[in-house]
Structure 1
Amino acid sequence: MRNRAARDIGEELKQILARLRALAKDERAARGPEAEALEIAIVNLDSAIEILTE
């Protein structure tokens, strides 16, 4: 995006995405019921970050 604020937000969201990925990994390892929901959230957030930072 050309908007600097949007790009900055996208960069900040990358840290949250990394934390979500770690949480999803732990949830999968524990065979927790939330693993699939976390994976969906990760895909959606990753797409949003891509749009904001392109």
Structure 2
Amino acid sequence: MTFTSGNLRDQIVTATGASDGEYDVDGIVEEIVEKHGAVDIETLDTDEFWAIVGKHATA
């Protein structure tokens, strides 16, 4: 099965839904895809992932 940006978006929704705050999920997806391609978030460095998420906080 091919991992797609849709799969990535679903993972981000799950991860951010379990944390406080609101986030621009599409912006997070776009930044990750630009830097790494459509990848499973488990393959990213945890600190890098949450830094990207933090940059896209909306509330």
TM-score scaled by length of structure 1: 0.32
Question: Which structure's residues are more often helix, by fraction?
Answer: 1
Larger Rg over CA atoms: 1
Q: Tell which has more relative contact order, 1 or 2 (C-alpha 8 A, sep 6+).
A: 1
TM-score scaled by length of structure 2: 0.31
